[in-house]
Amino acid sequence: MTTLALVEHAAPRSVPLDDAAGRALARSGLVEASPDPETSGRWRVRAKGVVGVATVPVPDGRAVTVRIQPKLPVARLLFLLGYTRSPKGWRDEQVDVAEEHELLPAFARLFTRQAEHALRQGLLKGYVAIEETALVMRGRLRFAEQVRRYHGRLVPVEIAHDEYTTDIAENRLLRSACETLLRLTVPNDVRGRLLRLRADLIDVSPIPRGAVLPSWRPSRLNVRYHHALRLAELVLRNASVEHRYGDVAVQGFTFDMARVFEDFLTVALREALTDHTGHCVLQAGHHLDEDRAIRMIPDFVHYADDGTPLAVADAKYKTEKPQGFPDADLYQMLAYCTALNLPEGHLVYAQGKVPHTRHRIRNAGVVIHQHALDLDQPPGDLLSSVALLARRLIGK
């Protein structure tokens, strides 16, 4: 198996690959890949905005494993992921992964630690609705199903009842996350801990591959599970045997950094404005035209109590060009401001040479701000930067 080590958005690397493997990489869409024009038998490969580890199958039965390291330190990325899932999730002091330089081992270690903490007091129990065919009556008769199946016969009976069990959504999520991480390449010490966790959850049914994840509701009863459950959901949503970035299904554990940044920024802005009047909507649906045919979805809109838009922002995780930020982003924000009837709009980038620029649009009376947010800051400083940005959005 060929293994490639890349860094997110770094310069292309010339690597030895035959045409079959190179074409499989190119079709996957996971990375940019093209034949090296200077040397035969080599391909130029460049990582885009996806980080993690993935295995790309080659038609002849071989595979290429791609390990993409994020530009951010792993601990910083884990903080973004934690804040994305819940503002009250794990914090920097809980992410002790300085010894890890790759995302998957660090994430597996963090999940294992939180899952062990969740199960320290034993497995949580709860009521689960059960529908089954039985020979004795228990619970409620499913009358319509009884008639449809047995046409008036008294036995067997179709019944429904609530059972107090450990086979609840919370435990199923933890069991399935353990199974998923065990299928991946994780450090031996973490693998041993995952095996012990799976043994503790052996009587819990795993979630079938491809099935919709069961829902759970935070409460005082499952509070010790909260951090582990949010990590488990991230594992199950981002580790898959069927990631389809292009025409090829790849296996692995990956994150789209554009989505990570967008989710973090919008949730952090919403939390920063909690004490202010009005409300915030993430991914707010609007229309550009009067006939409501052209749909647009700004990442973040702050509304007054009566529903009037007060501010709009869009997250842009992309590399700045030598001459500045892409002009297309300005056109997009101008459309948002026009449709929402706002005098100002805000574009927020994950990086940039200048922390803030502004453009007054001719004949429109609209000012578009471009902000650069440095993600490689201690969590407290990063959240302070987001709070300052939030105040700029509402003009304070």
Bridge partners of residue 113, in order along the sequence:
none
Q: What Å distances lie between residue 99 and 107, 109, 151, 231, 359, CA to CA? A: 12, 11, 66, 20, 44
Bridge partners of residue 367, in order along the sequence:
344, 360
Bridge partners of residue 64, in order along the sequence:
2, 56
Look at the block and give the residue holding tokens 């842009």. 316
Q: Measured between alpha carbons, how far is 77 from 66 in angstroms, rounded to an integer?
A: 19
Q: What letter would DSSP give residue 164?
A: E
Tens of pLDDT along the chain (396 residues) come to 788 999 998 899 999 999 999 999 998 888 999 999 988 899 999 998 889 988 888 888 888 999 999 988 888 888 888 766 555 555 444 445 445 568 888 889 889 999 999 999 999 999 877 777 877 777 677 767 767 777 767 778 776 767 788 999 999 999 999 999 998 888 999 999 999 999 999 999 999 887 889 999 989 999 999 989 989 998 988 875 445 555 566 778 888 999 999 999 999 999 999 989 999 999 989 999 999 999 999 999 999 999 999 999 999 987 555 455 678 899 999 999 999 999 999 999 997 667 789 999 999 989 999 999 999 888 889 999 999 999 999 887
CB 90 within 8 A of CB 82: yes
How much is the pLDDT for 161?
Answer: 65
How much is the pLDDT for 185?
Answer: 86
Q: What φ, ψ does residue 352 adopt, rounded to 5°?
A: 165, 155
Residue ranges and CATH numbers for the domains of the chain are 2-69 (no CATH), 74-123+168-254 (no CATH), 126-165 (no CATH), 273-393 (3.40.1350)
